[in-house]
Amino acid sequence: MIDAHIHVVPPNLPGVGPLSPGLRASIENVGRVVREQMHAAGMTHAAAMGCLDGGPDDPLGVQRTLQICREVKGLFAIGIADPTRHDEEHLERTEAQIRTGRVVALKAYLGYTHYFASDRGYVPYYELAAKYKLPFFFHTGDTYSPYGKLKYAHPLTVDEVAVDFPKVNFVLCHVGNPWTLDAAEVIYKNMNVWADLSGLVVGSEEEIDAEANSQNRRDLIERIRAAFRYAERPNRFIYGSDWPLAPMPAYSELIHEMIPIQFHEMVFTENARTLFGERMRG
């Protein structure tokens, strides 16, 4: 199985801490915990986010992520697109990082950064994604920060770039939660739009399973099931946990409950293999 959305480094986003103090541990310790979590959840591969503003020598913010990838078999990096950095020198360094073959996708943190998906600052990154056949992830939906601005993170804003860049596969992280039906419409309309199922709940295994949260859990399950049906594209949904915001085994069990059993192989493995292609091997 493939977990298409985890974090192994602090994301360096406005108003967001490290996600977990453990992400500031040594590379060896982070790698050990990721290996343990992946094994416990039955994950053979995973894609880990870089950080925003990694510095002039790290335009996609993936240097530490890639160091951890060396510690974890089957772990790959997703680079972060910065809409404020689209000068020629930065983009040349960005392309050089992509050409190493160690980055399997790009991502924009809509809402955390106050730019729409259609902003001209992102356009060169879409062009690079098309050139190198990289999927492009968008944070969509609620932000984990009081400084986020939700209008930038609404999934409907991705429809415009999906039309303008038909050769790029775009991924709506978190199914645009809570705007899951809006996200489903964008997927239904555009063959090049996907969704990941990450970050729908946050907390420990005890918190996820707590009786006090049972109604919220049922509401969420129905909301995702409705979006899954509406989109009519089970081949466009991929699994992600958003670890360390939730433990991988407990979160995997939750998504198994949400998705009809006949689509489990697609959602947990096959769709991600199609999306990432040859880059996610090993």
Q: Give per-residue pLDDT as tens, 52-61.
A: 999 999 999 9
Round to whole Å and give the CA distance between 239 and 234. Answer: 12
Cβ(224)–Cβ(166) below 8 Å: no
22 has a pLDDT exceeding 80: yes
Cβ(25)–Cβ(156) below 8 Å: no
107 has a pLDDT exceeding 70: yes
The structure tokens listed for 85 are 């950095």
Cβ(112)–Cβ(76) below 8 Å: no
3-state secondary structure of 258: helix
Mean of pLDDT over the chain: 97
Q: Give per-residue pLDDT as tens, 186-209.
A: 999 999 999 999 999 999 999 988
The confidence score (pLDDT) of residue 209 equals 87
Of residues 116 and 211, more confidently modeled: 116
Note the helical H segments in the chain. Answer: 27-41, 63-69, 88-99, 123-132, 158-164, 180-189, 205-209, 214-231, 248-258, 264-265, 271-276
The confidence score (pLDDT) of residue 40 equals 98
The confidence score (pLDDT) of residue 210 equals 87
Q: Give per-residue pLDDT as tens, 129-184.
A: 999 999 999 999 999 999 999 999 999 999 999 999 999 999 999 999 999 999 99
* Distance from chain centroid for Cα 62: 14
Task: Over range 64-69, report the average pLDDT.
Answer: 98
The confidence score (pLDDT) of residue 37 equals 98
Strands (E), 66-160: 75-80, 103-108, 136-139
Round to whole Å and give the CA distance between 179 and 177. Answer: 5
282 has a pLDDT exceeding 70: no
Of residues 281 and 266, more confidently modeled: 266
211 has a pLDDT exceeding 90: no
Task: Assign a CATH topology to domain 2-279.
Answer: TIM Barrel (3.20.20)
Closest CA relative to residue 280, chosen from 93, 78, 126, 108: 78
3-state secondary structure of 202: coil
The confidence score (pLDDT) of residue 132 equals 97
* pTM score of the predicted model: 0.97
Cβ(257)–Cβ(21) below 8 Å: no
Task: Over range 66-72, report the average pLDDT.
Answer: 98
